[in-house]
Every structure is written in C-alpha cells, then in structure tokens.
Structure 1
Amino acid sequence: MHQDSANLWEYIDFVKPQIEECLRKYLFSRRESVGEEISLAFEHALLFGSDRLRGILTLLAAELVGGRIEKVLPASASVEYIYASFVSLENLILGDEFYQREKFSDKASGRTFSVLICLDLLNSAYSLVFVNHRFEFEKALEAHGEVVECISALRKFAERIYEHKEIAAVNGELRNVFSTLLIRLSIRIGAILEGADYVQLNALSRFAENFSQAYLLSEQIIKQKRKDRILKKKLEETVREANRILVENFPPSQARSRLVQLTEYLMERKV
C-alpha cells in the first residue's frame, strides 16, 4: 500500500506506524538509557489513544491544504503526547490500578513516575512543531502558540478534575471540553504548518467543531445499552454538516475524501 490511496483504512495502515515511530523517536532522543520502571511507565502512557486519531487528523489537515505528511509527522507526535498526558493525569487523579502493580516498587513511586512522565510528554510536545519548519519560523511560531494554549487548558482541566474527582458528571464534562480542544488543535496545527490561509483555517476550525461534536455523540451512543434515536439523528446531522464544510471549502482530493470517510465512520464505530 502507498499513501496515494484514497481509501481511509489503507491510509491509516500506512501512517499509523510512522506516527508511533515518531512517538518513540522524539520521546527517547534525549536519553541514552532509561530504567525499567521509567520505560514501562512511558510505554503505558503511550498506549493510551492507540488509534492515533489525533495524529492522523494532523496529517490529513496538512495534506488537505497541499502539504506533505513527512513534514508534519513530528507535529502529529506532539498532539499524541498531549492526549496521552491528559489521559494519564486523569487516570492518576481518579485512581489507576496500573500504578499499584508489582513492576513498581510501591504505589507512591508509581504515582511519582506518572507525574514526571506526564510533564515530560508535555515538554516534548512544545518543540516538535519546529522540527522540519526551522526555516518557516512564522508558521512554526503560530503552531507553537496553539500548542501552548492547549497545554495551558489541560493544566486547568487537570486541576478542576482533581477538585471534583468525586463528581462523575463534572469529570465527563471537562473531558469532553478538552477532547474538543485537542481535536481542534490536531487539525489546525497540521494546516498551519503547511501554509493554510485564513479562509482555509476558518473552514477547518468549523469542521473541527462539528467533527469533535460528532465524535462525542458517537461515544454517548456507544455507551448506551439502548440506542437513542434522537442522539443518532443529531449525530447524522452533525456528520453531514462537517462534510458539507469540507466539500464547500476544499477542492476534491484524496485528503478530502479520507476526511469525509473518517467523519462518516463516526456513525458506524462500535468502540
């Protein structure tokens, strides 16, 4: 298979291993060696979000505006680091049995490792937008500003989750808000780094809003034992609106076709 296929699933099979290679490459590039416990904790953090949805959105947005995935692979790793960090922090606050396993010397040391690893993931995320864009400083700086804004929001959400950790409804609402912000970031930085103009960015922001809403609706439907027809109808309408924005604002291309397929998949997903 090659990246020239318009088929979404063939494309994912092609790019997902490249994203995961970047995740490990940039995470461990500053370390000659790490201990077993630290390595295990990093692997645990990186396993979250293994579908790599956010990284894939970064690549597709870059291609949609005429860019190349090779140039934005580091940026795709950046958004995956942020996602992994958020999920790890949330699990740590709410209680994750992983940190009580025998691989760690004790529960406290496991929690300490978790905090350090989340911080390291976030620190790694900041600089990756400059990789491959050192001579396109304005684009990289704009993308970096988006990353800074998202990470700042993450820290505030983590604090609020800690404050309301006994209230599941509040935690769910916070998770949804941050999920929306991260999907928006994932789409925008790929486009920004590859030269999207104001009109394209505006359209992609509207697409991201509808895509993230559709994603959250699909999660609600999956969790329900009985399917809610009203929710399903709302999901279908949101998917149509997201794809309408793509079709009306971007010319036909393989990237557009893949994004349309990915958005439509939200109506079918089971997990």
Structure 2
Amino acid sequence: AGGKRMRPLLTVASARLCGYESDDDRHIKLATCVEFIHSATLLHDDVVDVSALRRGKPSANSVWGDKASVLVGDFLFTRSFELMVDVGSLDILGVLSRASSTIAEGEVLQLVSQRDTSTPEATYLEVIKAKTAKLFAAAAEVGAMIASRNGPERVALESFGMNLGIAFQLVDDALDYVGRQADLGKTVGDDFREGKITLPVILAFLRGGAVDREFWKRTIERLDQRDGDLEHAQALMERHHSVADTLERARHYGAMARDALGLFPDTPLKAALLEAVDFAIDRAH
C-alpha cells in the first residue's frame, strides 16, 4: 500500500531546484534513505499504537505480528544508513542521523504525554516537529546539500520542509475527526480511541466547561469510551471550533513554507514544491 512519497519527492525536487544535474544517482539514494527512515517509523508506530490499518490496508503488525514488524523496521533503518554511507558525505550523514534520533525522541515525548489532557499546545508542537516535521526538513535540506548549496538555499529549504511538515501533521490530526475513512486510509476516530493528545483535543479541552472537561478525562485519560462518545467529541470540537482552528494553524505554517521558497526563481520545480504545500492543506477539503 504505497504512500504519497512526499518526503523522497522533496529530496529530489530540492536537489534539482538547487541545480543538481550530475550523472550519478546520489540524490536518488538520499531520497530512498528518507523513505526507508519514514517506512521504518511507520512499522514501529503501528506496533506501539496497536494499529490494525495502514493506508487503508491491514497493517504489517496485524498480518505478520509485532516481532516481524519491529525487525523489518530495524532493517530499513540500517539499510538507510548503508545508503547514506554510499553517498559519501559526512555532513549529509549528520543531518539524516540527527533526524532519525529526533524522530525517536518525539515518539518518547508523545508516549510521556499520552492521554494527558493537561498537555500544553507547546508540548504538542514539540512532538509533531520531532515526529513528523524533522524528516520533512531533513529531506529538503539534504537536497540542497547534495547540490553543494550550503548557504541561504540550504537554510531556506530546511525551513520549507519544517513548516510543510508541521502543516501536514496538523491537517492529519484534524482529519482524524472530520475526514472520510476512504480518504484517510485509517478508521476515523483512531486517535480518539487510542487516547492521543492532538491539537483538536487540546483546544476543545481548554475551551470547554467542567462537564466537557470531565468528558475528555473519561474518554482520553481513562479510555472509558462508550457508544456515541466519538460523535459527542466531534460535536464539542464543532462547538469550540477546535478543528477549524487546527486547520487555520496549518494554513499559517503552509504560508511560512511558501515564503521560505521566496529566494528561488520561478520554475516548474518551485511550482511543484508550492503545490506540495497546497496538497498538504487541501486534503482537508
């Protein structure tokens, strides 16, 4: 069940945007690295979250079990580092290895704040920057690096990837409550059922009264969920505009991603990267 391949596309497009025209395939190896890292984290995520679906199909752990999923995830991580070494740049190896460790730190931070309705928005943002946005940022940054653009272009593309990644995850978290299952590739309300603390929950909790807050504590903190609770959660989010405001924040980060590309001339490659921002946000409509 192939995904959208957004991260490796960022690497290839960023390299080309920076004028990479070498006959070798180092940019392809880097793009593959990025996708292997991403796939490894998905395999491990589904084990941690006990997810039954991934991209609309049975998850690897539900078909082959947790042990096989963890081991294959480990294999993809190690294979990605082999490819990084093949590229032959210690600087690039540093960027991608730091991204890998940051993703793991984000997973742990999410675990620590799991089912805690008092989690502040700043902690949530820290989690999604680490878990999701850091790999987007690294994917775009190494594209500039392989093209030997280590000045403003590298900084701009890292910023582009980071802001795009934040916007992408914010939309994902909003869609868990308002999306269509056929489009999501997972069951609507999965985050709710797992007690995940996402921005729609944080905002609805903060804006609600005592009765609303007790509902969130029962369903999210204690995971005492009953028939109709998901629908009630969606109604509270509608009342307090928490999904709408999550999407508004996504548009804000999307605008910053677009601004980061301002120093590049208008070309079809730049247009493609700008379209990636539109795609990330327009999934909500």
TM-score range, shorter chain: 0.5 to 0.7
SS of 1:183's equivalent?
A: helix
Specify which of 261, 267, 272 is matched with residue 246 of structure 1: 261
Matched ranges for 1:68-87 at <5 A: 68=21, 70-87=25-42
Change (3 A) 1:123 1:237: same
In the alignment, structure 2 segments of 5+ residues that lack a partner are 53-58, 179-237
Partner residue, 1:236 = 251
Residue 224 of structure 1 and its aligned partner are, at CA, apart by 3.7
Distance in 1, matches of 2:50 and 2:118, equals 17
Distance in 1, matches of 2:163 and 2:60, equals 36
Query: 1:93 touches 1:162 (CA, 8 Å); kept in 2?
Result: no
Measured on the aligned residues, the alpha-carbon RMSD in Å equals 3.0
Change (3 A) 1:169 1:182: farther
| Paired AA for residue 98 in structure 2 | E
Residue 51 of structure 1 and its aligned partner are, at CA, apart by 0.8
Partner residue, 1:269 = 283
Residue 187 of structure 1 and its aligned partner are, at CA, apart by 0.8
SS of 1:63's equivalent?
A: helix
Matched ranges for 1:1-271 at <5 A: 47=1, 50-68=3-21, 70-97=25-52, 98=59, 104=64, 110-131=65-86, 133=87, 137=88, 140-159=89-108, 174=127, 177-225=130-178, 226=238, 228-247=243-262, 249-270=263-284
Change (3 A) 1:270 1:111: same
SS of 1:267's equivalent?
A: helix
Query: 2:128 touches 2:166 (CA, 8 Å); kept in 1?
Result: no
| Paired AA for residue 53 in structure 1 | M
1:198-251 Cα deviation digits (max 9, x unpaired): 21111122222321222123223323435744344433333223212212x111
| Paired AA for residue 152 in structure 1 | S
Distance in 2, matches of 1:100 and 1:79, equals 22
Query: 1:93 touches 1:165 (CA, 8 Å); kept in 2?
Result: no
User: Percent sequence identity over matched residues?
Assistant: 17
Change (3 A) 1:78 1:166: same
Partner residue, 1:32 = none
Query: 1:65 touches 1:194 (CA, 8 Å); kept in 2?
Result: yes
Distance in 2, matches of 1:259 and 1:95, equals 34
| Paired AA for residue 94 in structure 2 | G
Change (3 A) 1:72 1:50: same
Count how many residue pairs are aligned between Structure 1 and Structure 2. 211
TM (norm. structure 2) is 0.63
